[in-house]
Amino acid sequence: MVKNSLIFIVLIGFAVLLADLFVGFNGNTDLNTLANHYAVSGPEEVGSANLVTAVVITYRGVDTLGEVTILFLAAAIVSFLLKVEAGASLNRKLRSTSEILDTASRILVPVIFLFGIYVFINGHLSPGGGFQGGAIIASGLVLMLLAQPAKEVGHKLITLVESISGISFVLIGVAGVLFAAGFLDNKLLSLGKFGTIFSAGVIPIIYIFVGLKVGAELSGIITNLHENQNEA
Amino acid sequence: MINLIIAIVIGVLILIMAIIAVHHKNIVVGIIAAGVVSLFASILYLLLAAPDVAMTEAAIGSGLSTIIFFYVLNKIKRQNG
């Protein structure tokens, strides 16, 4: 009883603290200075039809590198803590999967992989990008592992894709310092025609690497957890 | 106007699902309810004209994190019995 009333008092305290924000809120009618700069001069400076991508990869590219690094660290820690003995996943009793799940996964998994690749290749034209595409690829892997639990996923391949795309991302950034205006500058290649697939300079290439890297990292986490299920 | 009504309905559904996720006795139901919270949140982001965030939320929030919770739950059950 005392505990519940304490929780109630804390909740009321939060309500009082936040009431001022709620009462004083009226939605923005126009963009602030920074957003206005992005919206007005973004298309000609960066050449990306999707303005979110222009901000994520070019204006705030270093932040994206940091996010990818954090995700890499998380995946590395998961695989460090869940080290699987070789051959341990073989002696595990599994229920056979249902016909519906098996057939559906055979049809859907390639389509989901293809959709993930589409999302990160078209990141500068349509909504989505490297992170979303990578997450979609990892969800396709989840469906595959649910339908065929005994399937072995190559750790070496995942590590290789992850390392190569990470190194390439940083190398493109350094090439921006040497040959263009600065780190991760997208004018390394010509901006091209606005709204076509080969436009926005180096953004599509960076997003392909980000997508591969995020997809490999999330797939690594999922496979590690999956192979670790039978250990006590 | 119709968007506002849909947004309010989704917001109420998110609250209901969050309460189920916290208070339901069966952990499996709780995990699924937490996934449904993310699914409704991604619809809400789509209505608020943020399709990029909606895609991330749908794939990571309701897809991958739900399955990771199930893997962890399975492992905890094995260790306890």
Q: Does the pLDDT at position A30 exceed 70?
A: yes
- DSSP category for residue A187: G
Check: CB of residue B36 under 8 Å from CB of residue B63: no
Q: Mean pLDDT, to the nearest integer, of B47-66?
A: 88
The verdict on B74 touching A (C-beta cutoff 8 Å) is: yes
Q: Which residues span the domain enclosing A10?
A: 2-84+94-227
Q: Which residues span the domain enclosing B56?
A: 2-80
**Residue of A79 and B20 predicted with greater confidence:** B20
Burial code (b: 16+ CB inside 10 Å, e: under 16) for A67-106 equals bbeebbeebeebbeebebeeeebeeeeeeeeeeeeeeebe
Contact state of B68 with A139 under an 8 Å Cβ cutoff: no
* pLDDT value for B81: 67
* Range of lowest pLDDT (A28-32, A190-194, B26-30, B72-76): A190-194
**Distance between CA atoms of A169 and A162, rounded to whole angstroms?**
11
Q: Does the pLDDT at position B24 exceed 60?
A: yes
Residue A132 forms part of a structural domain: yes
Angle at A129 between CA B56 and CA B17, to 5 degrees: 10
Question: Residue holding tokens 């995700």?
Answer: A71
The verdict on B19 touching A (C-beta cutoff 8 Å) is: no
Q: Mean pLDDT, to the nearest integer, of B48-76?
A: 88
Residue A32 forms part of a structural domain: yes
Residue A89 forms part of a structural domain: no
B51 to chain A: nearest residue by CA? A127
The verdict on B63 touching A (C-beta cutoff 8 Å) is: yes
Contact residues on chain B for A95, CB-CB shorter than 8 A: none
* Range of lowest pLDDT (A21-30, A69-78, B71-80): A21-30
**Distance between CA atoms of A130 and A132, rounded to whole angstroms?**
6
**Residue of A162 and A87 predicted with greater confidence:** A162
Q: ipTM of this model?
A: 0.84
For A58-108, the pLDDT digits (tens) are 888 888 888 888 988 988 888 888 776 655 555 566 677 788 888 988 999
Number of domains in chain A: 1
- Reported as half-sphere exposure (CB side, CA atoms, 13 A), residue B2 has a value of 0
Residue A153 forms part of a structural domain: yes
Q: Does the pLDDT at position B22 exceed 70?
A: yes
* pLDDT value for A88: 54
* pLDDT value for B40: 92
Largest CA distance in chain B: 54
Number of domains in chain B: 1
Q: Does the pLDDT at position A181 exceed 80?
A: no
Percent helix, strand, coil in chain A (nearest 5)? 70, 0, 30
The verdict on B52 touching A (C-beta cutoff 8 Å) is: yes
Q: Mean pLDDT, to the nearest integer, of A139-148?
A: 87
Of A129, A139, A229, the CB nearest to B64: A139
Residue A21 forms part of a structural domain: yes
Residue A104 forms part of a structural domain: yes
